[in-house]
Structure 1
């Protein structure tokens, strides 16, 4: 099993970032599997995988906001400064679960952007 995980991890390093995009369906399946393990999930590499996926989406989102601002374009949404928008894992998962099953093939990044637009619309 460890050999398989090592090969998968090595493959992830050489694939382009777009090939690594996780769908909401995959994210939720991994999150539900971790939840089912209870306390034993703490040692699972999937925790880091899910956290990294959300961090990538968050970083891309912030970069897109900064580039829109620099270019003088209206931002996608208007969140508070980084670190102030406290969104816990349960809230994130609930938001992803609210996506209809037929649309869960979208990337975590796309779902994250939609969540931020919904939670932090620009006023005015």
Structure 2
């Protein structure tokens, strides 16, 4: 019974905590492993974990953007008001691969996504 409660508590805490951005180096290793699966990648749990990580990064950036706008601060990117900002997976992977090897362990996936959004949706001055 005690082990069951401990397991339940760990599950609740783990599922309640937000996903954190991952370093680019380890993210790319996981991407390459999923890519090797070819068409079977959609059956891989890691495929959905990677997707969830990118979505969590996007949600975090969306939240930061909304907070900056509400506070009247300038933002680094300005997504369209009508459409949901979209980032093509190929352009995101290209941006990840463009990070220099020596910076991949210190650059997060969230940083790369923010860079892509800044380039794709620049603020008009």
Structure 1 length normalisation: TM-score?
A: 0.79
CA RMSD of aligned residues (A): 2.5
Structure 2, gaps ≥5 residues long: 1-9
Structure 1, gaps ≥5 residues long: 1-8
2:59 corresponds to? 59
How far off is 1:50 after superposition? 0.7
The CA deviation string for residues 12-51 of structure 1, in whole angstroms up to 9 with x for no partner, is 8179657x43111111111111111101222111111111
Alpha carbons of structure 1 residues 14 and 48: separation in structure 2 relative to 1, 3 Å: closer
2:114 corresponds to? 113
Instruction: Provide runs of 4+ in structure 1 moved above 2 Å.
Output: 14-18, 81-86
**1:21-40 alignment, distance < 5 Å:** 21-40=21-40
Structure with higher Rg: it is 2
Structure 2 length normalisation: TM-score?
A: 0.78
The answer (yes or no) to whether the contact 2:18–2:56 under 8 Å persists in 1 is no
Q: Distance in 1 between matches of 2:85 and 2:21?
A: 24
- Residues paired across the two proteins, number: 115
For 2:80, what is the secondary structure of its paired residue?
coil
How far off is 1:97 after superposition? 0.7
